[in-house]
Structure 1
Amino acid sequence: MSSTKADLRRTALARRLALDAGEVARRSDKLRENLFRQFPVAEWRWLHLFLPLKKRNEPDTWGFVEWVWSEELPLRLAVPVVQADGTSLRHYELTPDTQLTQNKWGIEEPVPDPDTAPEVLPAVLDAVLVPLLAVDTAGHRVGYGGGFYDRFLAQCRPGTQFIGLSVLDEAPVPALTDVLPTDVPLTACITPGRVWRF
């Protein structure tokens, strides 16, 4: 298998799209269990996560959200909103009262509101759950190619945990051949079967 991002993006997306909805849900539950079992979630104050693009079989992170709320953990959640410039993200708190709307890709996003969805700055985050299609042995991820997350992760403070989520139960690939200087490596990647740390 080639180790270029474009080839990995195409083949990993095809494998993910081949999963049925029930399998994505089952694997998403395993990701949640691995996160709460193997990371110090109870010590975090702020966790950033993405809301799933279901038509691309992304991990269903709503199970993570509902777990935090049902357990009444003292953990606050933040999610991204794509900005009108089409290249940047801003981040807003997600609570049970947050009003959501779908963006042009079909991803749910908070409607910014100082009372129910205040803005959250990257510098306060303790951990970020990152979407991906593949990852290499150094923690460099393959996403959809827009660079949104690399620009965002570069704004976080040193020590923030960057944790990839993948419903594909696969080992990291050998080193990518086209890593960019602006690529921000992950701290770890959670798959249904195990946690890979970099």
Structure 2
Amino acid sequence: MIKSELRRAALAHRAALSSQEVAHRSQQLCDQLFQHFPVAEWRWLHVFLPITQRHEPDTWRIIRRIWAEKMPIRLAVPVVPADGVSLTHYELTAETLLHLNRWGIPEPAAATEVPATAFDAVLVPLLAMDRAGHRVGYGAGYYDRFLAQCRPGTQFIGLNVLNEPLPEAIADVRPTDVPLTACLSPGGVQHFGSIR
């Protein structure tokens, strides 16, 4: 299948989930992250903040656990700049003031900018992925451009509240698409080859 078809199907499937089911699956993803990855050893983790009305994974569960356990890791979140082309990244602390952008995504009102090369791991939003780690997002290409800027060795970990990888490959993968190194879904963790 092609991305536009997969995107449509995944959005409908995700919209049909109850808020309670999204919360339950989000907790599963959080538990898996800390069980299968050395989170406390990372220096910087990039995490997206969820659009709750779109039933995105609740990444606040991950963020609050890091803060509650006083892990030394630092967090950063994305901001869509005025040019509408590339993401910028800003540190997130418990004191960071947030506001909603025009898409309903929480963003820091003022914070320290962090370069893409700083991150040890990036939690990546997605709607679907195949068994090679290629993902379907919302289609704007923000994350592919961002991930291409990260340093070698950065882990790209997808968060999927839906299903396992697709049984067949995404038909219209482009050369600029950056594959995931792993993905968390309610059924468990999938790894997609070596870290680049």
Question: Considering the TM-score relative to the shorter chain, is it more than 0.5?
Answer: yes
Identity %: 64
User: Which residues in structure 2 correspond to 1:80-95 (within 5 Å)?
Assistant: 80-95=78-93
Tell me which stretches of 4 or more aligned residues in structure 1 moved more than 6 Å. none
CA distance, structure 1, for counterparts of residue 164 and residue 9 of structure 2: 13
Cα deviation, residue 43, structure 1: 1.1
Distance 1:106 1:180, change over 3 A: same
| SS in structure 1 of the partner of residue 168 of structure 2 | coil
CA distance, structure 2, for counterparts of residue 60 and residue 86 of structure 1: 25
CA distance, structure 2, for counterparts of residue 70 and residue 171 of structure 1: 32
2:8 aligned partner, one-letter code: R
User: Which residues in structure 2 correspond to 1:60-75 (within 5 Å)?
Assistant: 60-75=58-73
1:119-172 CA deviation, whole Å, 9 max, x = no partner?
Answer: 010101000000000001111100000000000000000000000000013333
1:108 aligned partner, one-letter code: P
| SS in structure 2 of the partner of residue 101 of structure 1 | strand
The answer to whether 1:141 aligns with 2:135 is yes
1:45 aligned partner, one-letter code: R
In structure 2, list runs of 5 or more residues that go unmatched.
Answer: none
In the alignment of these two chains, the number of paired residues is 192
Provide the aligned C-alpha RMSD in A: 0.8
User: Which residues in structure 2 correspond to 1:41-80 (within 5 Å)?
Assistant: 41-80=39-78
| SS in structure 2 of the partner of residue 169 of structure 1 | coil
Of 9, 15, 39, the residue aligned with 2:13 is: 15
In structure 1, list runs of 5 or more residues that go unmatched.
Answer: none
CA distance, structure 2, for counterparts of residue 173 and residue 75 of structure 1: 35
2:83 aligned partner, one-letter code: D
Determine the structure 2 residue equivalent to 1:131: 125
Of 16, 29, 32, the residue aligned with 1:31 is: 29
Cα deviation, residue 45, structure 1: 0.5
CA distance, structure 2, for counterparts of residue 172 and residue 73 of structure 1: 34
CA distance, structure 2, for counterparts of residue 185 and residue 127 of structure 1: 14
CA distance, structure 2, for counterparts of residue 14 and residue 167 of structure 1: 13
